[in-house]
Amino acid sequence: MSEENTRTPSIKNGLHDHPQGSGETRTVDQIAPGGELHQNVAHDGDHADGVTHLTDNFGLRIADNENSLKAGTRGPSLLEDFILREKIFHFDHERIPERIVHARGSGAHGVFECTKAIPELTKASIFQKVGASCPVFTRLSTVTGGAGSVDTPRDVRGFAVKFYTDSGNWDLVGNNIPVFFIQDAIKFPDLVHSVKMEADRGYPQAATAHDTFWDFVSLMPESLHTVVWAMSDRGIPRSLRMMEGFGVHTFRFVNEKGEGKFVKFHWKPVLGIQSTTWDEAVKIAGANPDFHRQDLFEAIDQGDFPAWDLGVQIFDEAWAEKQPYDVLDATKLVPEEEIPVDIIGRMTLNRNVDNFFAETEQVAFMPTNIIPGIDFTNDPLLQGRLFSYLDTQKSRLGTTNFHQIPINAPKCPFHNFQRDGMMQTLVPTGRANYEPNSLAEAGENGGPRACPTTGFSTFQENAERNDPTEKVRTRAETFSDHYSQPGLYYRSLTENEQAHLASAVVFELSKVQIEHVRNRVVAQFRNVDESLAKRIAVGLAIDLPEKAKPAKEPVDLGTSDALSIQKQAKNTMQGRKVAILFAEGSDLAEITKFKKLIEAEGGTPALVAPKVGGIPVKGGELKADGLLAGSPSVLFDAVISILMPEQAEKLAKNAAALEWFMDAYAHCKTIAHCKGTQVILDRAGIQKDDGVVPLDEFKKVGVKRHWEREAKVRDLA
């Protein structure tokens, strides 16, 4: 088969082959269909005088980009002005429908590398040998808010990875929480309608704290497991780089012999898992609505590439049968203590997008993008997703040819008889657009053919378990325990984490105005954990309602340390940001020493001062990265203060400065300070503890959170 017949997008023509920002300009002819087209494409000769000439969309050079064509200097604009009309017309159509969920996201390119070969489990080409690698594109998102909402609401986060493998694109479209709100895809529109802004009033934006969401929860106890995760610190991550990712569903690995094993996918962040506190997340939303997006972009930009290890939990049907839950139920996790997570690869995000719209906005993830060696299971949530994503992409991107958009096109050849349609960019040659055909016998190109040996073939599953085998609309009995795993989650947390979860539910329910909804939620929580339900009732000052009647009585599943963030916290400077507060007269040598120390440990220092321009300091002049009033301490993981006594006296009367220290203290952060700063700490009511230390103890203490302080600053009842 000739290459002309079915033109193949080639990464050779894409940006992947030249470093970011190389500024290379290519002509349209140099770009194969499906290759990446930079908008500064120009005619030969346009660079003759070192300037790229502005043209219209058809290559016509434009002489004046300031004035529209008018009948006389002060006359009306003319219909003839095709240049004006093209520009405005294109602008009018710049937006496409935002994603119905996960509208706000940040994307980056990277690479996946196999670190452990598992051919005995799967024939997926990417897992055949150590060192095998492929490009990836990853989009991390919030779920509920619109595209222009903030980064730090309490919410689930999307964790979608597109692997461009040599046997096709594999999309692992997961979340930062290993379970989901519902068991059957038929409830997805209801769930999403309930959580999005309310239909009549158009608010709240990006928030679960409202009547309709909790009404849904109170009536759908299967949602409780994901609810306890979302209400815990997992729902307010510190950074997109510091959250876990999960494939959620049970998938299937299939090896060369056609043997299948169940698999659950995990992404473990190399920087460790870290969250914010609720008060901090709320303040960050005001201080920097793009907190996560900027953090990811800047980290990659400065070569501090975020990475995640890909892990798998493998089990077979026989093991699955013995569990007190159904592995096909997406509201359940498989505890890591029972089936350990085996690390098989690493993903490193190493290149920012060149254009947000072309890449992050237009990327189309689909759980149906699968490769030989990986297969679906009968999880009814997954089964519904298999329809939904293809459909949504046509609606968002406007054409069945969305797979030709560079970010979506596979980087391996693709050949088929799908033809035509809106925005077709491929130019197939010949007349073979159907199969079977015998055109090759006449010397013509007959086109591609299916390949039974290397092509994707569905795992042959024994359908006997699906009893009865008639068509039914029922929920399997094995899906009926909605409370045991949420209880396992709550009881696995540290005391602080449990308190955070309880106060999050109290906060959310305090925003619920329908009284019976509040009561019904608490009635449900009584089946999860009686002490948690009591805490919530006390927090709301309501009587403990009667227990909801469970479809199946919950059992005590013990605890799992892998579920707690604090139990696995890393005290590392890597990827963390530390503020150094200085003012006039501060010691430059001391500031430089701390800057270097932070950098040497893999952190990022940020200089904060009452003014940003050149400030006279002892030993020279210094510019700040941020204004004190515009860089609250919520934006940093720890703070250092180096001030002359007279400047400290001044700042002790400055609300922004007092708040800066009070917040760092209340959020349990390290505060390393010089003697002069003491006057501000005294004014702010900050007492010395293991995390409020003299400058020379900063290195020893590090940037970990000092949770033992929390009881002094917050009611943890």
Catalytic residues: 102, 175
Per CB under 6 A, the segment of 2-10, 94-102, 635-643, 652-660 that binds ligand HDD is 94-102
Per CB under 6 A, the segment of 334-342, 382-390, 410-418, 677-685 that binds ligand HDD is 382-390
263 binds ligand HDD, rule: CB under 6 A: no
Nearer to ligand HDD, 384 or 430 (CB): 384
- The four Cα atoms 611, 616, 621, 627 give a dihedral, to 10 degrees, of -10
Nearest to 506, CA basis, from 528, 483, 532? 532
581 binds ligand HDD, rule: CB under 6 A: no
Compute the least distance from the CB of residue 30 to ligand HDD, in Å.
Answer: 30
365 binds ligand HDD, rule: CB under 6 A: yes
693 binds ligand HDD, rule: CB under 6 A: no
Please say whether the dihedral angle defined by the alpha carbons of residues 590, 707, 487 and 492, taken in this order, is positive or negative.
positive
| Cα first-last separation, the chain | 71
Report the chain's C-alpha Rg in angstroms: 29
Nearer to ligand HDD, 185 or 242 (CB): 185
188 binds ligand HDD, rule: CB under 6 A: yes
389 binds ligand HDD, rule: CB under 6 A: yes
Residue 477 Cα to chain centre, angstroms? 33
Compute the least distance from the CB of residue 388 to ligand HDD, in Å.
Answer: 4
Nearer to ligand HDD, 389 or 707 (CB): 389
Compute the least distance from the CB of residue 376 to ligand HDD, in Å.
Answer: 12
Buried b (16+ CB within 10 A) or exposed e, 207-235: bbbbebbbbbbbebbbbbbbbbbbbbbbb
User: Are the C-beta atoms of 598 and 573 separated by less than 8 Å?
Assistant: yes
| Residue of 174, 245, 632, 676 that binds ligand HDD (CB under 6 A) | 174
What burial class does residue 67 get, using C-beta atoms within 10 Å of its C-beta: 0-12 exposed, 13-18 middle, 19+ buried?
Answer: exposed
How many residues of this chain interact with ligand HDD, rule: CB under 6 A? 27
Nearer to ligand HDD, 173 or 557 (CB): 173
Compute the least distance from the CB of residue 175 to ligand HDD, in Å.
Answer: 4
Alpha-carbon distance 42 to 90, whole Å? Answer: 19
135 binds ligand HDD, rule: CB under 6 A: no
226 binds ligand HDD, rule: CB under 6 A: no
Query: Beta partners for 347?
Result: 112, 308
Alpha-carbon distance 476 to 622, whole Å? Answer: 67
Alpha-carbon distance 433 to 417, whole Å? Answer: 5
241 binds ligand HDD, rule: CB under 6 A: no
Structure tokens given for 212: 């309709």
User: Are the C-beta atoms of 535 and 502 separated by less than 8 Å?
Assistant: yes
311 binds ligand HDD, rule: CB under 6 A: no
Alpha-carbon distance 30 to 325, whole Å? Answer: 56
Nearer to ligand HDD, 311 or 632 (CB): 311
356 binds ligand HDD, rule: CB under 6 A: no
Q: Are strands 245-246 and 260-269 parallel, antiparallel or unpaired?
A: antiparallel
Cβ-proximal residues to 417 (8 Å cutoff; 6+ apart), any chain: 432, 433, 434, 435, 447, 448
Cβ-proximal residues to 500 (8 Å cutoff; 6+ apart), any chain: 232, 233, 277, 278
Nearer to ligand HDD, 155 or 529 (CB): 155
The H-or-E segment that residue 486 falls in is helix 484-492
Per CB under 6 A, the segment of 38-46, 69-77, 380-388, 539-547 that binds ligand HDD is 380-388
| Residue closest to ligand HDD (Cβ) | 158
Alpha-carbon distance 666 to 380, whole Å? Answer: 44
Compute the least distance from the CB of residue 160 to ligand HDD, in Å.
Answer: 4
What burial class does residue 558 get, using C-beta atoms within 10 Å of its C-beta: 0-12 exposed, 13-18 middle, 19+ buried?
Answer: exposed
173 binds ligand HDD, rule: CB under 6 A: yes
Instruction: Give me the 103-132 binding string for ligand HDD, x by CB under 6 A, dash otherwise.
Output: --x---------------------------
Nearer to ligand HDD, 188 or 278 (CB): 188
Nearer to ligand HDD, 100 or 656 (CB): 100
The H-or-E segment that residue 96 falls in is none
Quote helix, strand, coil % in the chain, to nearest 5: 35, 15, 50
Per CB under 6 A, the segment of 169-177, 430-438, 613-621, 634-642 that binds ligand HDD is 169-177
Structure tokens given for 447: 């086109």
248 binds ligand HDD, rule: CB under 6 A: yes
253 binds ligand HDD, rule: CB under 6 A: no
What DSSP string describes 342-407? Answer: EEEEEEEEEEE-S-IIIIIIT----TT---TTEE----HHHHHHHHHHHHHHHHHHSSGGGGGSTT
Alpha-carbon distance 628 to 649, whole Å? Answer: 15
Nearer to ligand HDD, 385 or 500 (CB): 385
| Residue of 383, 392, 424, 654 that binds ligand HDD (CB under 6 A) | 392
297 binds ligand HDD, rule: CB under 6 A: no
234 binds ligand HDD, rule: CB under 6 A: no
Compute the least distance from the CB of residue 372 to ligand HDD, in Å.
Answer: 23
| Residue of 5, 14, 31, 99 that binds ligand HDD (CB under 6 A) | 99
433 binds ligand HDD, rule: CB under 6 A: no
Compute the least distance from the CB of residue 325 to ligand HDD, in Å.
Answer: 16
Residues within window 141-160 making contact with ligand HDD, judged by CB under 6 A: 141, 158-160
Strand locations in 21-175 (E): 105-114, 133-142, 157-165, 168-175
User: Are the C-beta atoms of 137 and 363 separated by less than 8 Å?
Assistant: yes
| Residue of 7, 123, 139, 283 that binds ligand HDD (CB under 6 A) | 139
User: Are the C-beta atoms of 348 and 306 separated by less than 8 Å?
Assistant: yes
Nearer to ligand HDD, 158 or 487 (CB): 158
Per CB under 6 A, the segment of 21-29, 99-107, 693-701, 706-714 that binds ligand HDD is 99-107
Nearer to ligand HDD, 175 or 586 (CB): 175
Nearer to ligand HDD, 160 or 236 (CB): 160
Compute the least distance from the CB of residue 363 to ligand HDD, in Å.
Answer: 6
Give the residues lining the site for ligand HDD (CB under 6 A). 99-102, 105, 139, 141, 158-160, 173-175, 180, 185, 188, 248-249, 330, 363, 365, 381, 384-385, 388-389, 392
